[in-house]
Structure 1
């Protein structure tokens, strides 16, 4: 049996996606979504009733009634996006168009449960206080965290290289403290959405965002929508297997940023302690550093190429801490792909220009959409 409520919700989300991009008329919404004018009219009325949308009249260039565009009310919904990293927690408060109203970031040296949770609550307390000063109500929180996650139960399960932060019921903990709707999402998926909404991918319906930090992952956008896969683990390229020194190893256990730094410290200089130190060696034309970075770029490039061959995506953005390695790294990624691409089609690979707060900003945008989706479902 067809679920009428599900159809209605999906239609509402189609309309929502177009409304959040540009001011648009009802007629254009019907044309772009392939929905009837009656269906679009009902959905628009729902959004107006919810206080999210309003009409904007302007004089037509021709004769007759003024044209009517629909525009979102910027301060109708506010959300906090939170990124939980292995050594830092970052958050931001945004309105519907994605204006950054407040932000806060805390780094921590200890990665035990108490230290991480204290940092999380310190960031959130700060953002709620700033929202209060602006007389802004926070409607939702979305947490971007490393996988694996249980999105339905709101639990961070057991992310690699994050051993003291496992099976954390993060959604329940936040809801009990702040009393607003909370969701959890994969961190790299949130950057991909941030790239789609605020970066160079605004005009792209199909692309991949690859993040290289201690962990390595990819966020995939197809047909303008986030692709999760049935179990929600699409894009986990850090767990691609590589056969090296007689055994199979995960890609991120060989070429995660922490591993690269550790290798550089051992193979090049004991004074190296960060990816920025490797960047400085590249600037001084250090051959050992160049060799290590080229090897890393080739390995990451091979993983990206496998994704390209699987998904047929031709636009790829690379981000994360790895970007400080600059042209030498990116050129080795591009060379690997150009040399081994099956179809010899044009592949566009570049560094992402979204800021380091991209996970938090993408998560905040997702929070606004999930909150509105909830209101639409409740309205029935």
Structure 2
């Protein structure tokens, strides 16, 4: 499983966090709301957090998302008290105090126990422990808040949440998915039909977690914070102009988009990355493919990037490997002959 590879060799604290967000099951919005709440609370330094205290950011994030997408769990026809309370709050039917009280009573019945589970197994690293009436924050969460990557996590969770709720909102199935990249706005969007486009999320935010916050080529830390000195840039692994030769179609497909540091992006230009980066591209793409599909099993709904990537490159891993290899050989034998590139220096992968 890709989540096992993600944590295979000397995983860092950031990798454990990202594995929860990327590979934990997403049957509802609860995990994402809890993830964003923990990131917010981590900066406050409190060790003991009551359910009432946790309920404020937790409900706030769900309320915000319900305003964009009213479906925030699979079985949306069921009257879940917590989701119903959030809807009532949005309509002005209940007070914030009532919302927080309902959240504390109904919102945490499952998510606190399941948050650390990946592939149905609890991780060895925990960011909080459940206690009677609340949670106890562990040193791991405080240490996480001190890492260079911490600034990226909120946007990464938000991107993951937006991707999942897009499937819920549009009732996306295998035959309807279409994910495209808007180069001007640097966002991913779905083209539902000729007259309807739905913006999904920032491309940087969607890609960054799957690359562990590193430049795809040299492995230096990058940021997705606008204005940051080390802002990652969206790069086409196969150069954009290859589309003129019928190579690497669709050139703007998620399979061909990676995040690179500014130095690598400028240095690479239109050249073809060294062949050894094909394996890295394939593994990154397989992270998308192995994204849990719990919601698919119940309602036939799919993770947008997973389905888009499989439609673009192949339904089986063998087909996907063949797809990127064939494009590489065509580019190397044609317009990019004798034009391969690799960075001058590369940090350990």
TM-score normalised by length of structure 1: 0.26
Structure number having the greater strand percentage: 1
Q: TM-score, normalised to structure 2's length? A: 0.28
